[in-house]
Amino acid sequence: MLYQRYFEAAVSRLKDERRYRVFVHLERDVESFPLARWHRDDGSVQDVTVWCSNDYLGMGQHPEAISAMVETASRVGAGAGGTRNISGTSHAIVELERELADLHGKEAALVFTSGWISNLAAISTIADLLPNCLILSDASNHNSMIEGVKRSRAERKVFRHNDLAHLEELLIEAGDRPKLIVFESLYSMNGKIAPVKEIADLAERYGAMTYVDEVHAVGMYGPRGAGICERDGVMDRIDVIEGTLAKGFGATGGYVAGDALVIDAIRSYAGAFIFSTALPPPVAAAACASVRLLKRRSDLRAAHQRATHITKHALAAGGLPVLENGSHIVPVMVRDAELCKAASDLLLTRHHIYIQPINYPSVAKGSERLRVTPTPRHTQEHIAHLVEAMVGVWHTLGIPFVEPPSHLHVDEKSKEHCAYPEIKLAAQ
Ligand code: PLP
């Protein structure tokens, strides 16, 4: 092919920079989650423990979500049949949007085919509909938000990650023109939580509109699982809340929730919404079942937090460099692309543990990491196995250990990675 060398060169560049992505061929299993079957290149199959799924609560395997999906598919079919504008809106999506608006205490919600698309469509549309809008965007925002910002015709400025003083400086500089602050409530790669209340304070003081991505928080924080804004009591002070149905809710799809007028404007103007086939009704039904269930299942959220807490402490007690944060994400720092990939490979091949290496551009060069995501279905045995395996891999590859933080009170038993507080994991 005439142009082949360009594609070859592009792929080689990634390989040279040690950030060529290799997919692990997995088959998840409803019964044994977080175990999955790993299909090796040689055709053999091996059970592995998955420690990097964003199905944070295991809702993708939950019987209520599965039966809603199966029942809906057998009643109304597999697909949506077209875009909502030309083929009608399915009842399952209408119900889901009602459930999501109620979850976030907003007048309306609009469902998209993914969280990525909802950010692209909603941010660009809102900014384009506000005359002379200035977008103020957090430096660590997700790719989908950056694409939404870039796609709009509005001017944009980036504020330093979670830096309120910098944000205020930019708000003052902007004067009285329309301003849109876009940020995440929980940043997925470092697990840090945004000062949402303080951002809402600044937005009110300087007359800015607020748009928050709660993708890594919905289902998992707040009394009904609406996210960090609900947990922090500021849901009503944020204009637009964006979420995914693919992580805590275990299905797929994305959405925004807000005032009816804003949602109607996005529905009416966003090309990425108007011209794309709607979410299939069985998927909408599964997501809806999951949202409903998680509104009342605080015990699952508590079990998730407990599993996270124990995993973090056990890893840190083993001298592994866990990045401190207040969330359910457990980044273990390697700080080298090659070593990070090698650690991931060894965990998989030697210990049958799957944790995908996180390299540039998902994180800055030199801050490569293994991103561990415990679920309520990870048991003490899984955790003990993880710590033992990671300590072994760190020794084999010569990755530096750190001193366990003094507040952990590491005793001899926990040094052997076997003394974890009793946890009772909630049955689903
Ligand atoms: N926003 C953030 C912060 C994300 O991390 C992701 C995906 O990981 C998305 C949006 C996209 O969501 P989805 O996977 O539903 O497309």
Asked if the model's pLDDT at residue 91 lies above 80, the reply is: yes
Best mutation site among 55, 118, 141, 142 for ligand 1 pocket (most ligand atoms within 8 Å of CB): 142
C-beta of 115 in contact with ligand 1 (< 6 A): yes
Q: Could you give the CA distance from residue 29 to residue 31 in angstroms, rounded to a whole number?
A: 6
Per-residue pLDDT at 73: 98
Best mutation site among 53, 116, 161 for ligand 1 pocket (most ligand atoms within 8 Å of CB): 116
Per-residue pLDDT at 408: 57
Asked if residue 195 has a cis previous peptide bond (ω within 30° of 0), the answer is no
Asked if the model's pLDDT at residue 191 lies above 90, the reply is: yes
Annotated catalytic, 247?
yes
Asked if the model's pLDDT at residue 427 lies above 50, the reply is: no
Instruction: Band the pLDDT of 406: cuts 50, 70, 90.
Output: low
CA of 247 to the centre of ligand 1 (A): 8
Atom of ligand 1 nearest to the CA of 144: 10
Per-residue pLDDT at 407: 62
Would the pTM of this model clear 0.75, i.e. be above it?
Answer: yes
CA of 214 to the centre of ligand 1 (A): 9
Query: Which among 84, 102, 87 is positioned nearest to 266, based on CA atoms?
Result: 84
Instruction: Band the pLDDT of 404: cuts 50, 70, 90.
Output: confident
Exposed e or buried b per residue across 147-164, where buried means at least 16 C-beta atoms within 10 angstroms of its C-beta: bbbebbebebbbbebbee
Exposed e or buried b per residue across 188-217, where buried means at least 16 C-beta atoms within 10 angstroms of its C-beta: bbbbbbbbbeebbebbeebebbbbbbbbbb
Per-residue pLDDT at 416: 38
C-beta of 215 in contact with ligand 1 (< 6 A): yes
Asked if the model's pLDDT at residue 322 lies above 60, the reply is: yes
Q: Which residues contact 278 (CB under 8 A, 6 or more apart)?
A: 80, 82, 83, 84, 87, 89, 90, 93, 111, 113
Share the mean pLDDT of the chain. Answer: 94
CB 399 within 8 A of CB 343: yes
DSSP state of 322: B
C-beta of 251 in contact with ligand 1 (< 6 A): no
Asked if the model's pLDDT at residue 197 lies above 80, the reply is: yes
CA atoms within 13 A of residue 200's CA, in its CB half-sphere: 18
Angle between helices 115-129 and 260-269 (to 10 degrees): 100
Over residues 341-362, mean pLDDT: 96
Per-residue pLDDT at 415: 38
Helical H segments across 352-406, by residue range: 380-397
Q: Give DSSP secondary structure letters for 141-152.
A: --HHHHHHHHHS
Over residues 74-98, mean pLDDT: 97
Over residues 98-113, mean pLDDT: 98
Per-residue pLDDT at 237: 98
C-beta of 256 in contact with ligand 1 (< 6 A): no
Per-residue pLDDT at 420: 39
